A and B are shown apart, each in its own frame.
Chain A
Amino acid sequence: MDWHQLWTILATPDNVPITLLLFVIPFYTWYGLRQSLANDRLIEKLEADPALAKTHHRKTQPYRPEWAREVHVWPYLLRIEFLAAIIVTIILFVWSIVLNAPLEEPANPTLTMNPSKAPWYFLGLQEMLVYFDPWMAGVVLPSLIIVGLMVIPYIDENPLGNGYYVYKQRKFAIWTFIFGFIILWVSMIIIGTMIRGPGWMWFWPGQTWDHNRLIFEVNRDLHEILGIRNRWVAFFLGGGATTLYLVGAAIGIHKLITLTPFSKKIYKRMSLLQYVTMQIFLITMLSLPVKMVLRLLFRIKYVWVTPWFNI
Chain B
Amino acid sequence: MAETNGNSGNGAPAGNGSGGKSVLTTLVEGSKEVKDRALKEIETYKKPEKTDLWKSILRVKHDETPRSRALGVLSNVFLHLHPAKINRDAVAYNYTWGMGGISFYIYIVLVFTGALLMFYYHPSKVVAFRDILYLEHDVPFGKLLRNMHRWAAHLMVITVELHMFRVFLTGSYKRPREFNWVVGVILLVLTLLLSFTGYLLPDDQLGFWAVTVGTNMARATPLLGHDGPFGLELGMTPFNDVRFALLGGSIVDSNALLRAYIWHCVAIPIIASAFMVVHFWRIRKDGGISGPAPVMLESEIKERR
Seen from chain A, the residues whose Cβ lies within 8 Å of a Cβ on chain B are 14, 16-17, 20-21, 24-25, 28-29, 31-33, 35-36, 39, 42-43, 46-47, 53, 58-61, 67-78, 80-81, 84-85, 88-89, 91-93, 95-97, 99-109, 111-113, 116-122, 125-126, 129, 133-135, 137-140, 146, 149-150, 152-154, 156-157, 159-166, 169-170, 173-174, 177, 181, 262, 265, 269, 308-309
Contact = CB atoms under 8 A, between A and B. Distances in A.
Most buried by A among B101, B129, B165, B182: B165
Nearest to B178: A153
Given A24-B162, A150-B181, A162-B290, A43 B297 contact: yes
B202 A28 contact: no
Contact of A162 (B174, B219, B298): B174
A98 to B, nearest CB: 9
A165 B183 CA distance: 22
28 contacts: A17-B157, A46-B297, A60-B294, A71-B88, A72-B84, A76-B91, A77-B82, A84-B98, A88-B105, A92-B109, A95-B147, A96-B148, A101-B150, A105-B205, A107-B252, A112-B209, A119-B195, A122-B192, A134-B227, A135-B227, A138-B216, A146-B185, A149-B185, A162-B175, A162-B293, A165-B170, A181-B168, A265-B301
Q: Is the interface of A mostly helix, strand, loop or mixed?
A: helix
B272 interface: no
Contacts of A96: 144, 147-148, 151
A163 B91 contact: no
B70 to A, nearest CB: 7
B61 interface: no
Given A81-B101, A309-B229, A153 B89 contact: no
B69 interface: yes
A61 B205 contact: no
B292 to A, nearest CB: 5
Contacts of A89: 109
B143 A100 contact: yes
B204 A104 contact: yes
Contact of B94 (A31, A70, A93, A159): A31
Interface residues of B, number: 108
B269 interface: no
Sorted from nearest, which 4 A-B pairs have the closest CB atoms?
A138-B217, A163-B291, A163-B293, A153-B178
Contacts of A170: 171
B174 A153 contact: yes
A80 B98 contact: yes
B79 A78 contact: yes
Nearest to B68: A74
Given A146-B189, A150-B181, A159-B174, A36 B169 contact: yes
A70 B210 contact: no
B299 to A, nearest CB: 8
A5 to B, nearest CB: 19
Given A108-B208, A109-B208, A163-B170, A46 B295 contact: yes
A150 B143 CA distance: 39
B42 interface: no
Given A71-B86, A122-B214, A150-B181, A139 B208 contact: no
A169 B204 CA distance: 50
Given A53-B297, A102-B206, A162-B296, A119 B66 contact: no
A135 B220 contact: yes
A84 B91 CA distance: 12
Nearest to B302: A159
Contacts of B158: 17, 20-21, 24
A74 B144 contact: no
Given A103-B136, A106-B203, A126-B213, A166 B101 contact: no
B21 interface: no
B196 interface: yes
B222 A105 contact: no
B189 A74 contact: no
A28 B166 contact: yes
B88 to A, nearest CB: 5
B195 A121 contact: yes
Contacts of A69: 87-88
B155 A17 contact: yes
A308 B291 contact: no
Interface string B191-205: 010011001001111
